[in-house]
Structure 1
Amino acid sequence: MRTPKKSTRRTASAPLGRPGDDAIWPRVTRELADDLAVDALARDRAGKAPFDEVARLQEAGLPALLTAPGPSGRGADWHTACGVVREISAADGSIGELLAHHCVLSWTSRFLGPGPGTAATDLPARTVDGAWLLAGAVEPGPAGLDLTPAGLDLTPAGGGAYVLDGRRAFASGVTVADRLVVGARCTETGDLLLVLVDPAHPAVFTEPYAERVGQRLAGAGTVAFDRVPVAAADVLGALPTDEHAVSPYATLAPLALRLLLVHVGLGIAEGALAEARDISRAGQAGPPPVAGAGRPDGAVEPGPGDDPYLLLAYGELATAAHTAATVVERATDALAHGLLAEGDLGVEERADIAVLVAAAETVANRAAMDITTRILELVDQAPPPGGDRTVTGTAADPHGSAPGGPGFDRFWRNVRALTAPVSPDHRLRDIGDHYLHGTHARLTLLA
């Protein structure tokens, strides 16, 4: 078990809360995305823990921006958060996923509120003040099963404090996070509690995933906790497991994470499509066709940009991306309204939001897989500025992932890693059951 050493290149996030700041974030996000895109392929091949990438995020102030908005005015609204995550994902899907988890985890104290025997805490304010990047997960892991990791347990230590033990895997951010937000089960009461842990504590041990098909820079790994003290102020809330005891507003937590990850996948597909377009345009560069040149009848000789099959392919892929974006934006609008409703959110409205999020997952995930798969064919067929076909791969490396190739395989791998855990059949059945019978999805805080 080893814990990666953290980079020293970490700075406090940019201050938020001034109305004029709102106008700068699109430019800041765009500039950071451009910066990440420059060396995205090299960083993906290196597969190192994303300390440098997190430093770039902190310098730009994005972790502070992507926290739940509070009375002080700090933190982005839901539409802004989704837009930032999607644009960063177009440049680097791994870093987009890391930001998505951070953003949703910053909302946990708002979703849950102080539970019985827990202290009230304003996690978004603490996150901004401490310039933290959050990672973790609400689920405590398997309980009562002979599995590895075995889940997390909290033993009461008096005065509202606990001791945390156990081991579990996390999908994003744990190798580089400043604080972990984790769900664990109380050994005395069986309650599920959400707690805040400093991963720099000597009793916290992190093991990064050595090999991963995609999202290699998302900071995924397994964390072990060996009698880690948890102060009462770091108990964020309780997780009700009975759907009759949980509020509809609290159950927006898993929907928010699912929808942000949809934005990540769609962003990856949009980034792949834009890069493929640039390669195709470069391959079509050259002098314009001249009437009469090369044709006995004097007609204009078609240029490489007139290839009807290439135009058809890009038309289909662009349409798929536009269609997915429309469905995703509708779900984003619905969830934004639900977040604003807070305690007034009803069961019916929550059910409608869940259906729209499920539809967005289904449509966008399919589109992202299709776009990133077909782009591998397009870049193989794109001619260079001389007119000859460029072969971007070899028999051993068909997609040009070896050094010197365009590396478009990383888009497919990232989308595949992101969407593989999501069953489209389950989502479609939920949508169909709601449409046909008006059935409500079970109210739960677990994804």
Structure 2
Amino acid sequence: MPTPSSTPAERPVEERRHALLRAARDVADDLAADAIARDQAGLPPIDEKARLGEAGLLGALTPPGPGRGADWLTGCAVIRAVSAADSSVGAVLARHYVHTWSGRFYASDHQAAALEEESLHEQWLWTGAVRTPAPDEDTRAPDLTLRPRGTGHVLNGRRSVDTAATVADQIVVDAVCTVTGDILVVRIPRGTHGVTIEPAPDRLGQRVAGAGEVVLDRVAVTPGQLLGRRPHDEESAAPFTALAEPALRLALCHVAMGIVEGALTEARDLSRGGRAHRLPGEDPDLLLTYGELASAAQTATAVVHRATAVLARALDTGSHLDAEEPASVAALVATAETVTSKAALDITTRVLELADAPGLDRFWRNARVLTAHHPVTRRLRAIGEHYLNGSHHAVAAAFH
């Protein structure tokens, strides 16, 4: 129901938000019913993509526009709800949502609007892997290259993609132009000639996310597939473009918090049902343990919510974003990553001590894979340097 203070103009937006959150909860309930079986099978997310599409989540999770899309706060709430039931599918949805913003981050307003409308109409699933500017980028050989040909380019190389590699309709990557040295961001439609996918089987966790290696052999890239330039370093990035990487990292924080919620809920239900190692009425230490875990989860949630609200305001500001603001946003996101990584790993480990049930280990495995490639020590040093010296470079370095 609309809030009493909402205006007539605000009510359709609120109604769409409530409908989208209801759809997310319905999808989560559906996914939870067979989450363990699908995790054990570890198949590409073909069926999961269909479920998201049938629920309207793929079209709904695009940037907000007149009568369509989802604002950042709503999008993150949807990602978190789905992740609590199945974090593999939550990660697919998180990367989809952030990559649908690629037009706004890198392209012109006109191109971005056209892409978003087409994505909504066609119910595209997006994924990708756009690299963060790195200090040693100029000295290492690029993994993807673009060679100009006619009015377009030819793309070669290979790139790891963490979700939906085999089923995505659009894959967004960056590549180095062999003539100009510019780093260009392009989208590759599904079925493009010269594209092959090497799936990543037998992963420890996130087994239904559809990770794989995208191999590109003389792939023709048309001018319409070129989204724009990715800066060589964070100092030269346009303020709004600089939000691309923090946005992805924060969306994945919501996936991690979904894992925490799912693990705690499942362990609690096992305890209530008498299937845990210790029963609530017989061991006061069990109450202490749940109190510690719930408090840790709520603390991480508060940090993530603060970063989410700040990033939402920055995204709403758009091209008028202040040049200093992205560094502050990135520092908050790096903090959220640090806190959620620790909470996810600690909580999913400790719930295994509370109950012994088939599939409960998937929460720890999923958390481990989701957080494995982002060392906490590096992030903490970057946060400290930003706090002490106001360094933009240090914050960007936290995302390598």
Question: Which residues in structure 2 correspond to 1:279-318 (within 5 Å)?
Answer: 279-283=270-274, 304-318=280-294
2:375 aligns with: 423
Q: 1:135 aligns with which of 124, 127, 130?
A: 127
How far did 1:244 drift? Answer: 4.0
Q: Distance in 2 between matches of 1:369 and 1:443?
A: 23
Secondary structure of the corresponding residue to residue 213 of structure 2: strand
How far did 1:145 drift? Answer: 5.0
Distance change >3 Å, CA 324–CA 242, structure 1 → 2: closer
Higher-Rg structure is 1
Secondary structure of the corresponding residue to residue 154 of structure 2: strand
Judge which range, 177-186 or 339-348, deviates more. Answer: 339-348
Q: 1:169 aligns with which of 134, 152, 160?
A: 160
Secondary structure of the corresponding residue to residue 374 of structure 2: coil
- The reply on whether 1:267 has 2:243 as its aligned counterpart is no
1:340 aligns with: 316
Question: Which residues in structure 2 correspond to 1:147-166 (within 5 Å)?
Answer: 151-159=143-151, 161-166=152-157
Distance change >3 Å, CA 339–CA 283, structure 1 → 2: same
Amino acid at match of 1:264: V
Distance change >3 Å, CA 186–CA 284, structure 1 → 2: closer
2:331 aligns with: 355
Q: Is the 8 A contact 1:243 1:442 kept in 2?
A: no
How far did 1:185 drift? Answer: 1.3
Secondary structure of the corresponding residue to residue 241 of structure 1: coil
Q: 1:55 aligns with which of 40, 50, 63?
A: 50
How far did 1:356 drift? Answer: 1.0
1:319 aligns with: 295
1:434 aligns with: 386
Q: Distance in 1 between matches of 2:275 and 2:165?
A: 44
Q: 1:223 aligns with which of 214, 217, 233?
A: 214
Distance change >3 Å, CA 244–CA 327, structure 1 → 2: closer
- How many residues are treated as equivalent by the alignment? 383
How far did 1:18 drift? Answer: 6.2
Q: 1:110 aligns with which of 104, 121, 145?
A: 104
- The reply on whether 1:235 has 2:234 as its aligned counterpart is no
Higher share of residues assigned helix? 2
Q: Which runs of 5+ in 1 are unaligned?
A: 1-16, 286-302, 381-404
Q: Which runs of 5+ in 2 are unaligned?
A: 1-10
Q: Distance in 2 between matches of 1:18 and 1:253?
A: 28
Q: Distance in 1 between matches of 2:204 and 2:367?
A: 10
TM-score by structure 2 length?
Answer: 0.90
Q: Is the 8 A contact 1:359 1:431 kept in 2?
A: yes
Q: Distance in 2 between matches of 1:367 and 1:43?
A: 25
Secondary structure of the corresponding residue to residue 317 of structure 1: helix
Q: Is the 8 A contact 2:235 2:393 kept in 1?
A: no
Q: Distance in 2 between matches of 1:365 and 1:443?
A: 17
**1:132-155 per-position Cα deviation (integer Å, ceiling 9, x unaligned):** 001111129988757xxx621111
Q: 2:73 aligns with which of 70, 74, 79?
A: 79
Distance change >3 Å, CA 73–CA 371, structure 1 → 2: same
Give the RMSD, CA atoms, in angstroms: 2.5
Distance change >3 Å, CA 411–CA 339, structure 1 → 2: same
1:414 aligns with: 366
**1:347-397 per-position Cα deviation (integer Å, ceiling 9, x unaligned):** 3322221111111111111011110000000003xxxxxxxxxxxxxxxxx
Distance change >3 Å, CA 367–CA 140, structure 1 → 2: closer
Q: Is the 8 A contact 1:28 1:60 kept in 2?
A: yes
Amino acid at match of 1:342: G
Q: Is the 8 A contact 1:140 1:183 kept in 2?
A: no
